[in-house]
Amino acid sequence: MTVIGVVGYLLATKSNLLPTKLSNKSIPSNFDTTSSQPTASSLDKGTLFDKLTANTWCNKDDISGKSMLAPTAKNYAFTKNGTYKWSHFSDYPEGSGQGNWNFEASGSDSGVIFLSSGDAWGFVIKSDRISLAGERLGKCEAITDSGNTYTADNLPRVNTSDLFNKLTAKKWKKTNDLDLFRLPTEIEFLKDGKYVANFNNGECSQAGLWSLREGQTHREEPVKDCDFRSKGENYSINSEVKLDGDLLVFESSLYAPTEYPSEQGLIWSDLRYSNKIVMKIKYKRPIKSGVSNVFDIELTNVSKENAVLKSLSISQTPYKRTNDGFTTDGEVKVLATENFQNIDLTSGQSRELTKNITFTGSGESELKINVNFEGKTQPYNGYESYVLKL
């Protein structure tokens, strides 16, 4: 299996307009997640250390009086003895963690917390509120006795994880021309818990907080319209992130180092069925209206059981943008089809084919790829949908 194949195998879910593995939530409009000072001093670090460790942080004010059944209570504590503890609990324990911590300040009110679990949480403190790894928390109980204590300068070192080191070692660029209305074409993860992203090939740029938490990135969108989904509001996105060789699975898309050849386009998907069939497509960038493009397609059975390939189709449908997203607005144009005549793929086996694809029109349209196949117990209508701008 190629490097791209391995990345495809690792992927759990690729998105449509709002990916199934991409969770998002609005940030309260009165809470600003931007730092007020771009650089940090030793005084800043000492002040932040005192703020972080003076009390626990929780969401009790946000859930108090809510009519919802069993809201999730969230509690976080960072103590001066160099240990941390967090928990999420509703009518059952939803998650928890504990260990050692350290941090670096990036400004008078912001920084990044490093945990012995390997996580790295960007944060901003505003008055009695903290934005931390996608959470919005307020001051809770005072921490009065934590045993042997340290200062900001002699807090025991916590090593950063290999994933954090690789994410922050280089800039990343998207490997295809799809879904540019919401995904960065380039992004840089900084070591201080902030990121810088360019959208639509440099038409728009933004910066904000980012965190690495339990194998996911949490990215704060500022009040800006680079990402269509934010609609001019603060926005938080979390998504699975994985590395394989020099390639990055980020927000359900594929990224490569900026030195990667720009003319080589790469698309992949698990067709919305994890661990079944993985699709990989190589093509020449950019995709242009009226110009034929060769799609080299590979379908690989990544499950443990046999899969029977039935058919493939590639289509294009005009899109109309609305306040709530997109809606198809025109005739579906079938660009290519393939009848596999019940090809039986054993575990790990691939089927390769080439299609000449010519897209037409201008503006935004839906590129949809359908792959019908059968597993051991049931048929699957696998598909992927992208937004393509011509």
pLDDT in tens, 208-239: 899 999 999 999 877 666 876 655 566 678 88
Strand-pair category, 277-284 with 129-132: unpaired
- What does the pLDDT look like over 34-52, one tens digit per residue? 554 445 567 789 999 999 9
Once rounded to an integer, what is the mean pLDDT over residues 371-383?
Answer: 93
Tokens of 66: 């809510």
CA atoms lying within 13 Å on the CB side of residue 49 = 22
pLDDT at 68: 62
Determine the pLDDT at residue 323: 66
In this predicted structure, the answer to whether residue 157 has a pLDDT above a threshold of 80 is yes
Q: For residues 135-153, give the mean pLDDT.
A: 89
Residue of higher predicted confidence among 321 and 176: 176
Which residue in the block uniquely carries the two structure tokens 């009390």?
55
What Rg, from alpha-carbon coordinates, does the chain have? 23
Q: Is the peptide bond before 38 cis (omega within 30 degrees of 0)?
A: no
| pLDDT in the model for residue 38 | 45
pLDDT digits (tens, 9 = 90+) for 43-85: 789 999 999 999 999 998 888 766 567 789 999 999 999 999 9
The reported pLDDT for the residue numbered 301 is 96
Q: Residue 14: pLDDT band by 50, 70, 90 thresholds?
A: very low
Which of 16 and 178 is assigned the larger pLDDT?
A: 178
What pLDDT is recorded for position 198? 93
Q: What band does 18 get if pLDDT is binned at 50, 70 and 90?
A: very low
| pLDDT range class, residue 253, cuts 50, 70, 90 | confident
pLDDT digits (tens, 9 = 90+) for 277-308: 989 999 999 999 999 999 999 999 999 999 99
Q: Taking a C-beta distance cutoff of 8 angstroms, is the pair 70, 89 a contact?
A: no
User: What average pLDDT score do residues 187-204 get?
Assistant: 93
Whole-Å CA distances, 66 to 56, 58, 134, 286? 22, 15, 21, 50
**Which stretches does DSSP call E strand in 234-363?**
235-244, 247-250, 253-257, 264-269, 277-284, 292-301, 307-322, 325-328, 333-345, 350-358
Give residue 44's pLDDT.
Answer: 85
Rounded to 5 degrees, what angle do the CA atoms 338, 342, 345 make? 100
Which of 85, 88, 144 has the alpha carbon at shortest distance from 115? 85
Residue 31 scores a pLDDT above 80: no
Angstrom distance (rounded) from CA 19 to CA 27: 19
Which pLDDT band holds residue 147 (cuts at 50, 70, 90)?
A: confident
CA count, 13 A, side-chain hemisphere, 277: 30
Q: Do 268 and 253 touch, CB atoms closer than 8 A?
A: no
102-106 average pLDDT score: 95
Longest dimension (CA), the chain: 72
pTM: 0.81
Q: By mean pLDDT, which of 79-93, 172-186, 202-216, 226-240 is the weakest?
A: 226-240
- pLDDT exceeds cutoff 50 at 357: yes
Give residue 355's pLDDT band: very low, low, confident or very high (50, 70, 90): very high
Q: Which of 268, 350, 247, 266 is nearest to 303 (CA)?
A: 350
- pLDDT computed for residue 149 by the predictor: 87
Q: What is the mean pLDDT of the chain?
A: 85
Cβ atoms 204, 181 nearer than 8 A: no
Q: Which of 350, 272, 347, 344 is nearest to 305 (CA)?
A: 347
Sequence-separated (6 or more) residues with CB below 8 Å from residue 259: none
On the question of pLDDT at 134 being above 80, the answer is: yes
| Share in percent of the chain as helix, strand, coil (round to 5) | 10, 50, 40
> Distance between CA atoms of 120 and 132, rounded to whole angstroms?
10
**33 has pLDDT over 80:** no
Q: What is the pLDDT at residue 26?
A: 40
pLDDT of residue 283: 96
pLDDT of 112 over the 90 cut:
yes
CA-CA distance, 291 to 277, in Å (whole number)?
29
Q: Pick left, alpha or beta for residue 315 (phi over 0 → left; psi -120 to 50 → alpha; otherwise beta).
A: beta
Structural domains of the chain, ranges and CATH numbers in brackets: 31-142 (2.40.128.360), 161-260 (2.40.128.280), 267-390 (2.60.40.10)
Q: How far apart are CA 350 and CA 322, in angstroms?
A: 39
d(CA 164, CA 171): 13
Would you say residue 337 has pLDDT above 50? yes
d(CA 359, CA 316): 7
Instruction: Provide the sign of the torsion angle of the four alpha carbons 315, 271, 250, 242, taken in this order.
Output: negative
Contact 197, 271 (CB under 8 A): no
CA 167 to mean position of chain CA atoms: 13
Question: Which residue from 11, 136, 141 is spatially nearest to 74, judged by alpha carbons?
Answer: 136
Q: What does the pLDDT average to over 334-344?
A: 97
